[in-house]
Amino acid sequence: MWIELDGWKAKLRFSACHFIPNHPKCGRLHGHTYAISVKIVGQQIGNFVIDFEDLKRYVGEICETLDHTTLLASRDENVQITKTETGDIVVIVGTSRKRYCFPKEDVVTLPINSVSAEDLCSYLLDELCNKLDLSTFSEISIRLDEGLGQGAGCVRHFSQREGDSGLG
């Protein structure tokens, strides 16, 4: 058994800006309206695999933390991130040596290697898994769209507990 949420239709969206260092086009600061779609495969316990309202709330909380921010990857070897005396965030980018200065409240620094759709998607899956009781799920998939028609997805599989046929 599985349930799905379409991020566009369920309004599980956020808008943010980012850049991909050393990329000819995406190396410039730019933004997207992102949508997070989720599919959860698992056992139906009582009425639900998971209550849609709970899942929407969890994904919505994640969206809220990222909405209208500048996303930075703290593990990106192509950026140097420092703070000024006032707490503002200064970013120096790779070989171009571009320099950005952002108000601290406008930045979310994520523990990822890049702010590509792929790495953002993996981060979002980790964040969602941290909010869920995973004991009845066998698989969670997330798709992060950077606009209509383009996005990245990732899947996490969970081992079946003893006695669970995994057929859900």
- Which residues are identified as catalytic? 26, 68, 146
| Distance between CA atoms of residues 75 and 109, nearest Å | 9
Please choose, from the candidates 21, 136, 123, 137, the residue with its C-alpha nearest in 3D space to the C-alpha of residue 81: 21
| Distance between CA atoms of residues 53 and 10, nearest Å | 11
| Whether 8 contacts 35, CB under 8 Å | yes
